[in-house]
């Protein structure tokens, strides 16, 4: 089974100053799999993504396709094939939608699995606004743009932090469809998500975090059948 693991995180610790945030996190993401990382705010889910990307100093092991990434620079981790969509929707507001997408390409004019047409087919809204400044888009459209810009870099794995935060239900559904489409193209996803319904619907496997540790790992069916875990670690 280990052979099919694209990402293997083992005994990951991370600190902000003297605050010990991650306490030995271990998780796997396999080829073409959507894996959700669930938990309440402040338990370390975003820090896990940042530690994998080298944005926070990781202690422990982060292996991607068998290669150790812990201690590498973020740009080299990205070049190894990991894309990252942070929760704060960092679009370039004065650039057009199309220019924002172009910035996602590793090399100008060189496309991988994703072209402008692919993105615009999935999101007619972005197509209609491709010449508009990204700053005038709605929050939901900016979220789509951020995910799509990451896709333009042709990653094999994407870490996506809270993509449905603050979105209207219709857009939440659209994000779900996009994530399934990404996985269908063989791209793995580690999804940090608050909304249990979308995570249960689209994930192959789920991890639940509490106090900087993994407190549950299993399938959506197993989590659904475990009210104690949901009650203690997920429900508000």
What would the pLDDT profile of 139-192 be if each residue is shown by its tens digit?
A: 888 988 999 999 999 999 999 999 988 888 888 888 888 899 889 988 999 999
DSSP-derived letter for residue 136 is G
The domain covering 1-81+157-165+187-236 belongs, at the CATH homologous superfamily level, to P-loop containing nucleotide triphosphate hydrolases (3.40.50.300)
Confidence of residue 130 (pLDDT cuts 50, 70, 90): very high
pLDDT at 3 over 60: no
Mean pLDDT, residues 40-63 taken together: 96
* Helix, strand, coil % over all residues of the chain, rounded to 5: 40, 30, 35
E-state strands within 106-233? 157-161, 188-192, 205-210, 213-218
Residues 200 and 203: their CA atoms lie apart, in Å, by 6
Residues 224 and 196: their CA atoms lie apart, in Å, by 10
**Alpha carbon 218 to chain centroid distance?**
18
Q: Which residues contact 136 (CB under 8 A, 6 or more apart)?
A: none
């Amino acid at each position: 089974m280990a052979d099919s693991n694209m990402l293997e995180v083992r005994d990951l610790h991370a600190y902000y100053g003297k605050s010990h945030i991650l306490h030995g996190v271990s998780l796997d993401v396999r080829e073409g799999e959507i894996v959700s990382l669930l938990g309440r705010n402040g338990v370390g889910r975003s820090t896990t993504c940042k530690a994998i990307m080298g944005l926070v100093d990781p202690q422990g092991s982060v292996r991607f396709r068998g290669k150790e990434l812990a201690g590498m620079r973020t740009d080299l981790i990205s070049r190894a094939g990991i894309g990252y969509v942070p929760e704060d929707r960092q679009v370039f507001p004065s650039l057009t939608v199309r220019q924002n997408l172009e910035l996602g390409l590793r090399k100008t004019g060189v496309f991988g699995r994703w072209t402008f047409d692919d993105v615009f087919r999935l999101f007619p809204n972005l197509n209609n606004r491709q010449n508009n400044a990204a700053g005038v888009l709605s929050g939901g459209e900016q979220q789509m743009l951020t995910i799509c810009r990451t896709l333009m870099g042709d990653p094999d794995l994407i870490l996506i932090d809270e993509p449905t935060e603050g979105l209207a239900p219709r857009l939440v559904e659209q994000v779900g469809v996009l994530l399934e489409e990404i996985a269908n193209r063989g791209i793995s996803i580690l999804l940090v998500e608050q909304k249990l319904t979308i995570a249960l619907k689209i994930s192959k496997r789920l991890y639940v975090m509490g106090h900087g540790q993994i407190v549950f790992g299993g399938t959506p069916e197993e989590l659904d059948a475990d009210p104690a875990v949901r009650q203690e670690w997920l429900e508000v």
